[in-house]
């Protein structure tokens, strides 16, 4: 089972809806579920989705624990693509695990 699981004891998601975030611009080895085109881009947490097994560990037959907080993150298309020709209100939503995100401004 891989769907939203019970939150680990004492766990609190590190981000809240509305928080500005940056996707880490890193290129680690192994199986990665954060698309290349979004790394280093800034967006806004649309919602906290739940806790899930980490697919980047599960890909190697491991349990995927500890569970990771998953967020739906919204990005302005004009921020993602240098020559985006659609409207300024066009967005892309991507499901991103917490270990790929950092706060835009340290509180």
Q: Does 34 bind another protein (CB under 8 A)?
A: yes
For the bound state, the minimum distance from the C-beta of residue 1 to another protein, rounded and expressed in Å, comes to 6
Q: Give the count of alpha carbons within 13 A of 9, CB side only.
A: 0
For the bound state, the minimum distance from the C-beta of residue 107 to another protein, rounded and expressed in Å, comes to 26
For the bound state, the minimum distance from the C-beta of residue 27 to another protein, rounded and expressed in Å, comes to 6
What is the size of the binding site for another protein (CB under 8 A)?
40
**d(Cα 49, Cα 58) in Å, to the nearest integer?**
19
Report the DSSP pairing between strands 91-97 and 20-23.
unpaired
């Amino acid at each position: 089972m891989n769907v939203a699981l019970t939150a680990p004891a004492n766990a609190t998601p590190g981000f809240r809806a509305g928080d500005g975030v940056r996707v880490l611009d890193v290129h680690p080895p192994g199986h990665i579920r954060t698309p290349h085109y979004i790394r280093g881009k800034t967006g806004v947490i649309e919602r906290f989705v739940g806790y899930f097994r980490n697919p980047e560990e599960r890909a190697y037959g491991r349990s995927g624990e500890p569970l990771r907080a998953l967020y739906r993150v919204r990005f302005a298309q004009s921020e993602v693509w240098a020559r985006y020709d659609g409207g300024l209100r066009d967005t892309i939503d991507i499901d991103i695990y917490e270990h790929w995100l950092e706060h835009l401004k340290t509180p």
